[in-house]
Amino acid sequence: MPPIISRGFRGRRDDAPSGRVPPGQYLTRDFPVLSAGPTPHRPLELWDFSIVGEVDEPRRWTWEEFRAMPSEEVTVDIHCVTKWSKLDTVWQGVSVDTLLDGVETAAEYVVQFSDGGYTTNLPLDDVTGGKAWVAFAYDGEPLEPEHGGPARMLVPHLYFWKSAKWVRGLRLSATDEPGFWEVNGYHNYGDPWQEQRYWGD
């Protein structure tokens, strides 16, 4: 498994409010940058977002169309598999429920796919019901490329590798399709409260 280094990490477990930080995690005020490869820089005029796979018909939005959709500001805690947690992070994004509105599917799983070839998998139930967003702003500012901008997934109830950076779409599937980290030794689901970091956890 490739090593992952978080530069500038500072945090303490005993700073954590009770019940806010999962087992084995430490608080940080930083926002460490962890990526599996180089940071893509796609011009907004070439960016789009698609829903494909087991759907009645594919959907696609340009950046302008995506930004015209109803969005929400959400404040959530995030937890990285490398053991840092960051509380009360503020994001703005389009709910996956909004993106899937009117989409007919029998799929039970979803694969997030991104610029750079990154993928990660989840049960469809984990990105619906108000549990996930395609985020385009962080802390009141456009999302920086190093943190996944112009848009990334936000699935805060799972370890943060399940929130794909530079996301370009969702592929709905009848079967589970493990993604990049999942086939390289990470847990297939990634619940921080169960410490599901690696295979066998």
pLDDT digits (tens, 9 = 90+) for 24-54: 999 988 877 766 567 788 889 999 999 999 9
Which residues touch 198 (CB under 8 Å, ≥6 apart)? 1, 185, 186, 187
| Half-sphere exposure for 98 (CA within 13 Å, toward CB) | 16
Whole-number Å distance between alpha carbons of 116 and 90: 26
- Using DSSP bridges, classify how beta strands 141-142 and 59-62 pair: parallel, antiparallel or unpaired: unpaired
The pair of three-digit structure tokens given for residue 195, joined into one six-digit string: 């410490």
Average of per-residue pLDDT across 51-75: 97
Lowest mean pLDDT among 12-16, 100-104, 146-150: 12-16
pLDDT tier at 11, thresholds 50, 70, 90: very low
pTM for the structure as a whole: 0.89
Q: Can you tell me the distance from the alpha carbon of 23 to that of 36, in angstroms, rounded to the nearest whole number?
A: 25
Q: What share of the chain is helix, strand, coil (3-state, %, to 5)?
A: 15, 30, 55
What average pLDDT is seen over the chain? 90
Q: Does pLDDT of 3 surpass 50?
A: no
Output the pLDDT for position 8: 40
Provide the pLDDT confidence category of residue 199 given band limits of 50, 70 and 90. confident
> In this structure, what DSSP letter does residue 6 have?
-
Domain map (residue ranges) of the chain: 47-69+91-194
pLDDT at 97: 98
The pLDDT confidence band at residue 2, using thresholds 50, 70 and 90, is: very low
- Higher pLDDT residue, 35 or 181? 181
Q: Which pairs count as long-range contacts for 146-149, CB under 8 Å and 24+ apart, including other chains? A: 146/33, 146/35, 146/39, 147/31, 147/33
pLDDT tier for residue 101 given thresholds of 50, 70 and 90:
very high
Please report which confidence band the pLDDT of residue 9 belongs to, taking 50, 70 and 90 as the band edges. Answer: very low
Instruction: Report residue 15's pLDDT band, with 50, 70 and 90 as the boundaries.
Output: low
CATH architecture of 47-69+91-194: Alpha-Beta Complex (3.90)
Per-residue pLDDT tens over the stretch 110-153: 999 999 899 999 999 999 999 999 999 999 999 999 999 999 99
Alpha carbon separation from 117 to 12, 121, 164, 180 (Å, rounded): 34, 13, 11, 9
What confidence tier does 155 reach under pLDDT thresholds 50, 70, 90?
very high
